[in-house]
Amino acid sequence: MSTSKVTYLGNLRTSNEHLKSGDTYITDAPIDNQGKGEAFSPTDTVATGLANCMLTTMGIKAQGLDLNIEGATATVTKTMASNPRRISKIEITMELPKGVSEKNQKILEHTAKTCPVDYSLHPDIEKVVQFNWG
């Protein structure tokens, strides 16, 4: 079964539908690449997807450790390069709950840094992740 359907709407905008749930979002080309910048750009979704994957896999691991990381956040900064135009750096700052032991913090941080999206990104993309516990 297919995962999603992407429709080009014109004016450098796409509509994206998750086929199983029907959930949708749009993307726009960024202002620095002829777009309106009124929504996530395709490269924004890639950088943000890394943070989504990190928090999701940490949540899975946390459940197995009988921990609750609900409310954790990740702020994402994406840096672009040119020739060819590509993502050169993704910086993620995570704000995580206090009360997690140092041992479990290390386990969860390792889990984040080995998530499927991290493994799927090109190795030339610099990834800088900061974990702030409590």
Considering the chain, what percentage of its residues have pLDDT values greater than 70? Answer: 100
* pLDDT bucket at 4, cuts 50 / 70 / 90: very high
Please name the residue that has the structure tokens 């840096």.
79
Which CATH superfamily hosts domain 42-133? K homology (KH) domain (3.30.300.20)
| pLDDT tens per residue, range 30-41 | 999 999 999 999
Give the pLDDT confidence of 46-86 residue by residue, as tens digits.
999 999 999 999 999 999 999 999 999 999 999 999 999 99
Checking DSSP bridges between strand 126-133 and strand 73-81, what pairing results, if any?
Answer: unpaired
Alpha-carbon gap, residue 22 to 4, rounded angstroms = 9
Q: Where are the domains positioned within the chain?
A: 4-33, 42-133
Total-model pTM: 0.95
